[in-house]
Amino acid sequence: MEETSVSEQQEQENTIITIVLTADNHLGFGGQHPRRRRQRREQLRRAFQKATDFAIGQRVDFFIQVGDLFDTTHPQEEDRSFVAARLAQLKQAGIRAFALGGVHDTPTEVQAGKGETLSAPQMSYARLGALHYFPPCAEQPLQPVMAQVRGVQVGLCGVGVVAGQQGDPLASLQVDGEIERAAIPLLLLHAPIEGLTTGSTLLDMQAQVSQVSIAAQRFFRYILAGYHHSYQHLTVGRTEVIVAGATQHVDFNDAPPGFVFLGIAPDGLRWCRHIEVDGPVVSRVVVQVADLWPEEQAASPTAKILEQLKPTCTPDSIVQLRLEGALTRERYHQLDLNQVQRFGEEHAFSFHIDDSALMFLAGGEDGASSPASSALPSFEERLSPREELIALADEWIAAAQDEQEQKALQATKEELLAALWNM
């Protein structure tokens, strides 16, 4: 009896498929001051290497990357070569690698231009046999990749969204019937999911996967997802949804960065562990502008902001200064935000001013409402250049007469938002 139980246990362990899941690595991210940029890119590469080193150390079966491996469709040669070396190590260790295109590293038709075809950077690795690449907008029905591991059939499909796409990509999901042969069917997904927080994002995505469509799909027991920058594990209907999260901070989402280690057997999920990766400390400093002008003004408004920033702006910190409230134009111009920006860049690893919650106060220069107004303060407009740009671009897109013009305007909007973020 004892020998039989040991044998059964070994057989059960052999049927467990092990996976390292990673996403949103954003290699080549350049949202920092030039003096910090190289250091930041090295940090992003180290985080990705920790995921590949862990996979090799654990001798996993699959290494799966679900979107935004790169932060751009044209990564620098240094980042391309780095990924090639990591994939070569995985292949040498007998680990199969799969990758899904993301929003940032998938070329769009508008980027390609007329008569030109651009390939995603991952395609060069796929042509060399270093990984299997799933384009995000795959034609349906999806054709699964079938892989047999120690007698267990695993089926993998990939689907995602690209910039400017609309609708729910899973609403009318169709999959080739071969997926029914898989004891472990996996869907790789890169898209916003209803109900999950996104953190900061550069792109105003109109496409979204609803939880209703996840529950209604009948092909996949497991969805391995990217796009959202925080690790999450939830069950929707009979489907396990595992969001890898980012391997490093690329926005002001303070969720711990890392990757996921999975063990999946034909009879269910055995383990799902988030492996954290060390990274900079994320800090938010919220300043109410009304507090910058007390009745007895002992210091300038700018000096007060700098005083609040000093404890958090350290060489290993990512800091966001958020200004909130209403003020007059005169008082806004009293703020030396250029001085604040220089201070943040000099003292923090990365620094950003968020003025999207600022508004101009209608009324006199002292902030009081005009006599003709109601007792409640009124607001003229938002100060945020980002909000104004989005509103103006959306007006132009809505007024466009044909689909091609709308796509071109959408792509221009996204490029401007990205440029604004990097300033």
Q: pLDDT digits over 381-390, tens only?
A: 444 566 667 7
- Residue 281 is predicted with a pLDDT of 84
Q: How confident is the model at residue 31 (pLDDT cuts 50, 70, 90)?
A: low
- Residue 369 is predicted with a pLDDT of 43
- Over residues 297-319, the mean pLDDT reads 87
Q: Give CA–CA dist 179/185, Å, rounded.
A: 7
Q: Are 100 and 136 in contact (CB under 8 A)?
A: yes
- Residue 188 is predicted with a pLDDT of 98
Q: Give CA–CA dist 405/209, Å, rounded.
A: 26
- Residue 182 is predicted with a pLDDT of 97
* pLDDT tops 90 at residue 305: yes
- Over residues 243-263, the mean pLDDT reads 91
Tokens of 204: 């105003």
- Residue 116 is predicted with a pLDDT of 53
* pLDDT tops 70 at residue 363: no
Burial 199-224 (b: 16+ CB within 10 A, else e): bebbbebebbbebebbeebebbbbbb
- Over residues 342-367, the mean pLDDT reads 78
pTM above 0.85, yes or no: no
- Residue 346 is predicted with a pLDDT of 87
Out of 296-300, 332-336, 404-408, least confident range: 296-300
Out of 8-17, 272-281, 354-363, least confident range: 8-17
- Over residues 348-369, the mean pLDDT reads 72
* pLDDT tops 70 at residue 131: yes
More confident residue, 349 or 238: 238
- Over residues 49-70, the mean pLDDT reads 97
- Residue 146 is predicted with a pLDDT of 97
* pLDDT tops 70 at residue 155: yes
User: Which residues 6+ apart lie within 8 Å of 210 measured at CB?
Assistant: 168, 170, 171, 194
For the chain, give the percent of residues with pLDDT over 90. 55
* pLDDT tops 60 at residue 364: no
- Residue 83 is predicted with a pLDDT of 97
State the average pLDDT for the chain: 84
- Residue 317 is predicted with a pLDDT of 86
Out of 71-80, 139-148, 394-403, least confident range: 394-403
- Please, where in the chain does CATH 3.60.21.10 lie? 14-276
Q: How confident is the model at residue 370 (pLDDT cuts 50, 70, 90)?
A: very low
Burial (CB < 10 A; 0-12, 13-18, 19+), residue 138, is middle
Q: Does domain 14-276 have CATH number 3.40.50.2300?
A: no
Dihedral pair phi/psi, residue 32, rounded to 5°: -110, 170
- Residue 177 is predicted with a pLDDT of 94
- Residue 405 is predicted with a pLDDT of 76
User: Which residues 6+ apart lie within 8 Å of 22 measured at CB?
Assistant: 48, 51, 63, 64, 65, 66, 244, 247, 259, 260
* pLDDT tops 80 at residue 167: yes
What's the pLDDT tens digit per position in 199-242? 444 444 578 999 999 999 999 999 999 999 999 999 999 999 99
* pLDDT tops 90 at residue 331: no
